[in-house]
Structure 1
Amino acid sequence: MIKNGVLYERRLEDDLLQEYFLYVPTDCKMGAKLLFSVHGLSRNAKDIAEHLVPFAEKYGVVLVVPLFSEERFSDYNIMGNTGKGYRPDHALQKIVAEVGNMTPADTEQIYLFGFSAGGQFVHRYALAYPERIAKMVVGASGWYTFPDPTVPYPRGILPASNMLDIPIKLDQFLHISTCILVGELDIQLTASLDQSPEINEQQGINRVERGRRWYFAIREAAGNRGLKTIYHYRTLRNSGHDFVQCMQNGDMGRFIFDFLFSNSAVITNMHQNVLKVK
């Protein structure tokens, strides 16, 4: 029995090795919105859940934070494309189904937020399953899948020979309202940041530049199709590549939940921010 207002650490009933955190707000209404938040390579799922719980409570949102372990999901950021581990998209879908059976949440369309490698996962998951996504926020990804049909996945959308059965549905993906958040100090060339020449040339040398280039690439691709999809890009003040710092200094939690679940003035401020950095 799931009690409202309690953060649970759970395991899938049909896969006890798959862990996830679940929070159902105190005043959870039938059809409540469902947010999945995905960790980076530090796999700090509990830390992310604890920081996002107050926002989930305020907005009446059911919060799920899966844990993709290193042992089972070594390449979850690219959707298990290398075949080195389990498929994180399949695991997420099982969690969605289980949460739908336990809570009043609406599981037809979900909301996504991912930080660092989690940001890589959520936008690639959205490329494969856009019909399941309402909105998403991509936080400080190391690199991205660009809407370029001449470049093989995962840098572009050209199907690769080792791509397994991961679908790419770009046209539907470009309908998803998306916000990109990156710490303004996230310009360090850390060990976890892929510095291959191909990625540097296509996307830039740091996370600030790469997020900005991807923002303009998806906005242009949507515009070429006559779409008026909402896209925002924002740098977070006094923040580097650190989730807690982005939450405390950069007010990231407010930006995430306002973009996904409200129409407040902060959204307008996000748009002004991207115009300045163009």
Structure 2
Amino acid sequence: MRAWRMVVGAGRDTARAVVMTSYDDRFSYSLYVPRVYSTLAVVVHGTDRDVLGYRDAFAGFAEENDCMILAPLFPADVPDPDGYKYLCRGQIRYDEILLGMVDEVAGRYDIATERFLLFGFSGGGHFTHRFLYLHPDRLLAASIGAPGAVTLLDGARPWPAGIADTADCLGHKIDPAAVAAIAVQLVVGEKDLSTDGIATDARHPAWIAGVNDAGVPRPARLHALRESLEHHGAQVRYDLVPEAAHDAPAIFPVVQAFFSDILS
């Protein structure tokens, strides 16, 4: 295994850093390290991959809540730009890559990472709710922001529309009761109504009639996910952000308020 390697550092005691992960050097992550830290929050980019923007937007939250920020980069050319959204493409397991990054941070810093906060927006929202299904034992809470398609907690549908065959295709049998034990926020802008780039049809593996098909906007998809989670006993906070469209910075304050509540 390669050594932990810093690529870029800036500011007080490398408070902001970009790191090539030793787990797989095609991937990297950025950290914000506050003066005091006891908890880790992971913030996952959307298709725009604005990793540094996400990290820096959470810097104030990090200082106020003694919470280190880890922002992974899942690059567009390894090998499928949408691969990370579904956790697995070919031989790449994006959930395991993230866990490898978390383990590296635990090895470098004196911080407990057995459970961490996880947020993702758009493509990151795809990643976050599917990671929650496979690894509820690793999470303090999950904030799922405006995914373009959802996986229902439905044992009658194949992955990624549902969870029927995850033991075979992902090596994890999903436990809905364990998922329901984790605090969940679903968050989307009230004007996030365009379906450009997210419409699916019956040929798409995530297609669910009336949920992920063409013409269904993101708030409706999140509503379907909410119903699915609540059906299994999950306590779900649903935030429809006034006046916001598909704009990550517009929902960051709502996510940070949710995480602050969890930590307090």
Q: What TM-score does the superposition give when structure 2 sets the normalisation length?
A: 0.85
**Structure 1 residue 202, shift from structure 2 partner:** 3.4
1:72-105 CA distances to partner (integer Å, 9 max, x unpaired)?
A: 252111111x42x521111111111110012222
Indicate the residue corresponding to 1:69 in structure 2: 75
1:24-58 CA distances to partner (integer Å, 9 max, x unpaired)?
A: 11233xxx111011111111111111211121122
Does residue 230 of the first structure (1) align with residue 238 of the second (2)? Answer: no
State the distance in 2 between where 1:170 and 1:52 align: 30
CA contact (8 A) 2:187 2:238 kept: yes
Given the alignment, which residue of 38, 41, 52 partners 1:46?
52
Unmatched runs of 5 consecutive residues or more in structure 2: 1-5
Q: CA 1:168 to 1:194, structure 2 compared with 1: closer, same or farther past 3 Å?
A: farther
State the distance in 2 between where 1:160 and 1:136 align: 20
Q: CA 1:238 to 1:133, structure 2 compared with 1: closer, same or farther past 3 Å?
A: same
SS at match of 1:93: helix
CA contact (8 A) 1:203 1:213 kept: no
CA contact (8 A) 2:199 2:212 kept: no
CA contact (8 A) 2:226 2:236 kept: yes
Does residue 195 of the first structure (1) align with residue 200 of the second (2)? Answer: yes
Q: How does 1:1-278 map to 2 (within 5 A)?
A: 6-28=15-37, 32-72=38-78, 74=80, 75-80=83-88, 82-83=89-90, 86-159=92-165, 163-191=169-197, 193-197=198-202, 198-203=207-212, 205-222=216-233, 229-244=234-249, 246=250, 252-262=251-261
State the distance in 1 between where 2:101 and 2:150 align: 25
Unmatched runs of 5 consecutive residues or more in structure 1: 223-228, 247-251, 265-278
State the distance in 2 between where 1:243 and 1:47 align: 10
Q: Which amino acid aligns with 1:11?
A: M
* Number of residue equivalences: 246
CA RMSD of aligned residues (A): 2.3
Divergent runs of 4+, >6 A: none
CA contact (8 A) 1:5 1:26 kept: no
CA contact (8 A) 1:143 1:199 kept: no
**Structure 1 residue 22, shift from structure 2 partner:** 0.6
Q: CA 1:167 to 1:121, structure 2 compared with 1: closer, same or farther past 3 Å?
A: farther
CA contact (8 A) 2:36 2:67 kept: no
State the distance in 2 between where 1:125 and 1:242 align: 22
State the distance in 2 between where 1:165 and 1:263 align: 30
Question: Identity percentage over the alignment?
Answer: 26
Q: Which amino acid aligns with 1:127?
A: Y
CA contact (8 A) 2:23 2:97 kept: no
Q: What TM-score does the superposition give when structure 1 sets the normalisation length?
A: 0.81
1:59-79 CA distances to partner (integer Å, 9 max, x unpaired)?
A: 111100000012225211111
1:148-206 CA distances to partner (integer Å, 9 max, x unpaired)?
A: 11111111111069724244232211111100000111111112x13325435235701
SS at match of 2:154: coil
